[in-house]
Structure 1
């Protein structure tokens, strides 16, 4: 949720939300109004075409039912007896019966215009009699006659007797009705393509049309058109559906009560929407205009108002991160933003100059403090050295006085040349060893030391007197006459970060008192009125000033080993 809070609280979000709350309801109202108007038009068109389909389907069903009744009456005609198989066959009676039956079905065929043909077929004598229309294509008529003749002769059991059957021929679908009277088939058929011919006079629009489907809603007519337009005819319900990928069509259907087929009407949706009232079109124009106005207003506000504010906010973020070079462009914008940009740039320049001055002043203060800290260390050992020489002169041990004088000369030579902030590690270690040797001359067989340092670190720079001061602190606080003290100094690269060196000074004394460790961890001053432990505080303070927080020093006690000091400084 936190990343969303700045966005929600931003000026841009509040502005867009306000505009949307004003214009949004108007747009939503017009969209709902348009949708409702479209649905009303669709329902009206669907209802009108549904009624038309119902009327036409009712006419087809009545025609089919009338033909079925006629076929049933024809099945009772006595002349059919002569077409059945008889042992005593009278050729004259047979021929006369065919003539009478032919005249009868030809006369009736004129009353049932929806039917293509009424037929009689004698399976005993392989005789096939049928009516024909003058407007029929001869080739289509002969193909249909041959297919139905083969069906009745070979597989009549595939059809239901006394029902209108939807039967697929080689090229076309047919509706076929028949009755079997002792081997004589009486029936009628109709080509399904002829059932939709009257619809060519009805206006369904430029691409609209009527078509017939099976009971599974598989297209019988206009099959290629359905595939090209990718229409889905298998919708549920009896009202209407809208389908199509290339062009949207309203689809309505009506099922036949006599046969297993549907009659469907396809109305282009574009034709329907063209009939919307003028006010509905005006409403659509207003909705589109409102949306365009919203985007135009947002674009203008973004260009004139939001982008300059965004540039100012971005510059402030960079300034907060410490980038003092950031400046706002002096573009030709509103007068107010030009004043703001100029004032911001002037303010940054002044802050930069002030920061440089403060930084230089801080450096001067740090240099003065470092010099002061190093001056605190020099007199500290100087007084101890004079005391050592005085004690040796008292006992008149001239050999040790000579060695001591030599060591003190080397010691003070280092002290007098170490006014710089850094010396090499090699020089610091030699100075520390020289200091410990002075203490060994003072207390023979009481102090031992060991130094381990990586040779590749000897040329690296460290602050002067940091190792010597801690070694001096160990001798001062861990030394006793009863047991020799051992001091071990180890210098190596840090295992976790090779860019740092780790300096470890460890003694075998009793370790730091708990209150001293607590003060060191809390970065509290250890200096008392007598000036004791000023060395440790000096080391911490100088590391902090010289490395600005990148160096670390840690004080601890290790059981069985005494006080341990670990320093981590950049190489």
Structure 2
């Protein structure tokens, strides 16, 4: 079954989802209505201005077409242009007279073509340039424009297609240029591009709106700095309009000229369009803002009154699950229900803490009792063996050995009866083990030898009692035979600053494979008759006293016999309340 993520199952998410289910549709309707209204107004304004651009561009194209017809008629019908063809065919005085008559003709017709700045005639035979002077604000401006046009014509540009005006980008201004070439004669006209958008200055495009001219590559030829500053892109192709602008959006519309590769572009700030929204649409916007603010305020109130106490309770429960019994919830003054809940929770935690302490103390008492019981399990086991030894010695009437045996047994049981603590010094445990081995040698003389090696500096180290003696007893019980002698060795050494290692080894046949497998996987070998209870006793006491800080291993070493290795901490871990 798929598990639900906590965030989707939280009260905050469900509350927000419920509130949004109520207010959400209203917000969506308001947003859609607002967007639709803006879209409709934008389309209407765009269509209206698009029609206006079409009308203005049509008017510009018609004026340019009239000038084209005039230039064509002038180039075909004016006889004075014949004197411009060649210097060899006509006298210079005749050329000057023809130039005077042509100048009068151009000046008399200049007032009829106000849509352009100047009409000109250029002859490369005389390198002479003649033009009307009805444009510009001063002589310097007229001379500057004349020089730029003359410089261009002197490069002998290719003839233009009929009805096609060319954009000439000058140093300070850009021109719209048209000319007819007839051998060495150029008859043409030009107009400053800024003059084409003068009529648009009277239209209401808003405080920042404007019209401009762009070339066929959609690069602005007028208001260049404005387009760059506002980050407006006018390169869209097929749409009726586009919205562009970095800081403020503009509605961008454009119309292509039929007489040249240029566009008439209108930039209208969207804020100007939104001013035309009906009053009800503005009211919808106000309602939308109020609804959003209400939603946020509602969530804030619910979080403070309802969700925040629930969150505190959940956090406290998570800490409680991790075992922190000191967590307490603050008193709530805003809601009676949460005050009762927090008080009940704090009371419950206090009772759990007291109960856990009682259970822990009871567990400690149980461990103490179990350890004492485990230590007492050794006493009857060896006591029966000791009686058996004395019985056998009495049978053979070996009174000297009986006396030595009685002395060793007295020392042995004296250690057993006084050893009521969970730890004894290593020195006492070694002496006790040595005493036990002497008892066994008295019982079975010349049948086994033993060695005990322990560093002097470890003599006061504390270990659990009867650990080494039990392992040695196990070796004698399972490795000793009357047919051949065995050797038992006990080695104690310091592994590092935190642990000591105890190794008990014999030269018997070793552990059987099935027994060794059970021991290594920490299985139990204890039978109903109490067989092998010694090893189980050692492992159980190590587990109770040291938890996971010790280990014991059983193995058979080649050339030796059974080997038991214990690893005990140097720092004692005592049961609370026992010394």
TM-score by length of 2: 0.89
Tell me the residue number matched to 1:355.
356
1:534 has 2:533 as partner: yes
- In 1, are the aligned partners of 2:519 and 2:554 still within 8 Å (CA)? no
Tell me the residue number matched to 1:80.
81
- In 2, are the aligned partners of 1:479 and 1:509 still within 8 Å (CA)? no
Q: 1:91: Cα distance to partner?
A: 4.3
Q: 1:74: Cα distance to partner?
A: 1.0
| Residues 263 and 356 (structure 1), Cα distance of their counterparts in 2 relative to 1, 3 Å cut | same
| Residues 187 and 553 (structure 1), Cα distance of their counterparts in 2 relative to 1, 3 Å cut | same
1:7 has 2:45 as partner: no
Q: 1:149: Cα distance to partner?
A: 1.6
Which region of structure 1 is more displaced relative to structure 2, 254-263 or 7-16? 7-16
Cα distance in 1 for partners of 2:342, 2:74 equals 104
Q: Please, what is the CA RMSD of the aligned residues?
A: 2.9
State the aligned residue count.
567
1:231 has 2:223 as partner: no
- In 1, are the aligned partners of 2:525 and 2:531 still within 8 Å (CA)? no
**Matched ranges for 1:378-397 at <5 A:** 378-397=379-398
Tell me the residue number matched to 1:265.
266
Tell me the residue number matched to 1:143.
144
Tell me the residue number matched to 2:293.
292
Cα distance in 2 for partners of 1:165, 1:187 equals 11
Cα distance in 1 for partners of 2:311, 2:499 equals 42
Superposed CA offset, 1:22-48 (max 9, x none): 322322222222222211111111111
1:178 has 2:179 as partner: yes
Cα distance in 2 for partners of 1:528, 1:403 equals 35
Tell me the residue number matched to 1:546.
545
Tell me the residue number matched to 1:66.
66
SS at match of 1:252: strand
Superposed CA offset, 1:115-165 (max 9, x none): 000001121122211112266343221100111122222x12267465311
**Matched ranges for 1:50-449 at <5 A:** 50-76=50-76, 77-133=78-134, 136-153=137-154, 155-157=155-157, 160=160, 162=162, 163-397=164-398, 400-401=401-402, 403-449=404-450
| Residues 141 and 403 (structure 1), Cα distance of their counterparts in 2 relative to 1, 3 Å cut | farther
SS at match of 2:112: coil
Q: 1:372: Cα distance to partner?
A: 2.1
- In 1, are the aligned partners of 2:505 and 2:562 still within 8 Å (CA)? yes
Q: 1:68: Cα distance to partner?
A: 1.3
Q: 1:271: Cα distance to partner?
A: 1.2
Cα distance in 2 for partners of 1:141, 1:532 equals 128
Q: 1:517: Cα distance to partner?
A: 5.7
SS at match of 2:235: coil
Q: 1:205: Cα distance to partner?
A: 0.3
Q: 1:450: Cα distance to partner?
A: 4.8
1:36 has 2:27 as partner: no
| Residues 165 and 63 (structure 1), Cα distance of their counterparts in 2 relative to 1, 3 Å cut | same
Q: 1:235: Cα distance to partner?
A: 2.2
Cα distance in 1 for partners of 2:273, 2:456 equals 94
Superposed CA offset, 1:368-419 (max 9, x none): 2222221221232233234334433544556645654554344334323321
TM-score by length of 1: 0.90
Q: 1:516: Cα distance to partner?
A: 8.8
Cα distance in 1 for partners of 2:275, 2:55 equals 26
Tell me the residue number matched to 2:26.
26
- In 2, are the aligned partners of 1:27 and 1:290 still within 8 Å (CA)? yes
| Residues 331 and 389 (structure 1), Cα distance of their counterparts in 2 relative to 1, 3 Å cut | same
1:483 has 2:484 as partner: yes
Tell me the residue number matched to 2:16.
16
Cα distance in 1 for partners of 2:405, 2:168 equals 130
Cα distance in 2 for partners of 1:41, 1:221 equals 28
| Residues 151 and 10 (structure 1), Cα distance of their counterparts in 2 relative to 1, 3 Å cut | closer
- Gaps spanning 5+ residues in structure 1: where? none
- In 1, are the aligned partners of 2:135 and 2:142 still within 8 Å (CA)? no
Cα distance in 2 for partners of 1:27, 1:502 equals 77
Which region of structure 1 is more displaced relative to structure 2, 552-561 or 59-68? 552-561
Superposed CA offset, 1:300-323 (max 9, x none): 222111121121122122222222
